[in-house]
């Protein structure tokens, strides 16, 4: 209905621009309508892709961390360092399941343990380059953790803001423009008729139409 009203008003600009109050009302209405469209775009942004990206990053981090943990564990058991072995006693299921933040912390602990013993891990396949790659995977996953929830929060905020914008746009139409448009009937009845028709709200889902309060009082 908002788009229909805008289309009619845009076709008859030369008619209504002579009445300042109507022009001011239309400017205000247009601002609310534009804000609603912007918020609608934000509201409709899907979050599925963000969740999938997070899962992929988590799996990549887990694979790299488990590989490094296995190498460090082999070294620790060889030198009878039970404390080090315990620090890297992780599995892929440990990192794929459970809370998001714990998985990142577990991977960081593996990275820290490997870094501290890097000088002894060359023959076990652990290099500085591998640890750098692991750190990058940890950072990428950690950065992705909050994105799906943040997107859902933004969608909720947009929905709440849209409610206020709809109320404001309706108020401008009902309180200002609807009350002023009858003044144009004698000069351009087509504009008034088109405006009134545009103000009919179509319920597409139910196949019904409903009208707002009549713009002019009925004839006696």
> Are residues 172 and 64 in contact, defined by beta-carbon separation less than 8 angstroms?
no
Mean of the pLDDT values across residues 31-35? 89
Calculate the average pLDDT of the chain. Answer: 83
- Percent of the chain at pLDDT exceeding 70: 81
Mean of the pLDDT values across residues 44-52? 63
Q: Which residue has the tokens 């109320």?
A: 167
Model confidence over 8-24: pLDDT tens digits? Answer: 999 999 999 989 999 99
pTM above 0.75, yes or no: no
**In the numeric block, which tokens belong to residue 100?**
């998001």
Model confidence over 180-204: pLDDT tens digits? Answer: 999 999 889 999 999 999 998 654 4
């Amino acid at each position: 209905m908002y788009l229909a009203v805008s289309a009619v008003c845009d076709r008859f600009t030369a008619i209504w621009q002579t009445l300042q109050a109507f022009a001011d009302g239309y400017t205000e209405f247009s601002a609310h309508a534009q804000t609603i469209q912007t918020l609608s775009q934000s509201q409709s942004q899907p979050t599925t892709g963000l969740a999938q990206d997070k899962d992929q990053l988590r799996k990549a981090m887990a694979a790299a961390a488990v590989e490094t943990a296995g190498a460090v564990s082999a070294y620790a058991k060889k030198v009878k360092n039970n404390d080090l072995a315990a620090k890297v006693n992780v599995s892929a299921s440990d990192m794929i399941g459970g809370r998001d933040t714990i998985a990142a912390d577990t991977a960081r602990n593996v990275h820290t343990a490997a870094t501290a013993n890097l000088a002894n891990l060359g023959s076990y396949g652990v290099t500085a380059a591998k640890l750098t790659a692991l750190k990058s995977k940890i950072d990428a996953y950690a950065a992705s953790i909050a994105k799906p929830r943040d997107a859902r929060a933004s969608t909720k905020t947009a929905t709440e803001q849209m409610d206020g914008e709809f109320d404001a746009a309706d108020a401008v139409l009902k309180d200002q423009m609807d009350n002023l448009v009858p003044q144009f009937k004698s000069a351009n009845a087509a504009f008034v008729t088109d405006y009134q028709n545009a103000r009919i709200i179509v319920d597409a889902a139910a196949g019904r139409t409903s009208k707002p309060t009549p713009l002019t009082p009925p004839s006696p």
